[in-house]
Amino acid sequence: MISSLQAEDFVESKQGGRLRLAVRKAVMHDIPPILDLINGYAAKGVMLPRTEFEMSEAIRDFTVILSGEKLLGCGALHFYSPALAEIRSLAVSEHAKTLGVGRRLVGALVTEAQEYELDAAFAFTYVTEFFQKVGFHVVERGALPLKAWKDCLRCPKFQACDEIAVLRVLRPERWDAQVWQMTAPDDHLIQIPTPQQMLMP
């Protein structure tokens, strides 16, 4: 389970427009408030718990949103290959649910993925409509790389996972258009596109 996001995290109220929100890459002193946020949701069974050691190893993956010194949300971009990364560990403070923090977090992580010239980003979520509003599509989970499931092994829902995989293609020119347009039999899923041969510089 990677996300505490709800549908309302996409909506930005007028109050959110008045607040000065800072979006930046996380640094080491952000670890305690990130752990408080993630592990608070983990206690409710919504996210996987994290330790200080795990956060120290993964801190470069994380982006945070703050209002002044107060952490309002966090999310991570975790690389799996030169072409693909996962957006995960998305969490928004209960006090910031209608400030558009979730939308800004995903936007910042997608921008980071584009800056690294990744071909696509994926996530596991319960709130597909949230991700669909920012250009993601529902995909068959089994089509994702096996190593994307490594965190799932310690999840209590591993044997009966009900999360949905979503994918956003960031560089359409590097995907085979014919494969991209193919749909699964139930017409609700799309197949993971097949990367084209790397273009020579």
| Residue 82 reports pLDDT greater than 50 | yes
Give the whole-angstrom CA distance, residue 3 versus residue 122.
Answer: 13
Residue 13's pLDDT is what?
A: 47
Higher pLDDT, 5 or 166: 166
pLDDT digits (tens, 9 = 90+) for 14-27: 454 567 899 999 99
Higher pLDDT, 60 or 82: 60
Give the whole-angstrom CA distance, residue 181 versus residue 179.
Answer: 5
Residue 174's pLDDT is what?
A: 75
Domains of the chain in start order, with CATH, are 7-172 (3.40.630.30)
Angle in degrees, CA 104, 113, 131, rounded to 5:
45
The reported pTM is 0.76
The residue among 68, 16, 193, 33 whose CA lies nearest residue 120 is 193
DSSP three-state, residue 134: coil
Give the whole-angstrom CA distance, residue 169 versus residue 150.
Answer: 22
Higher pLDDT, 164 or 149: 164
Residue 162: both structure tokens together:
């009900």
The residue among 17, 109, 28 whose CA lies nearest residue 67 is 17
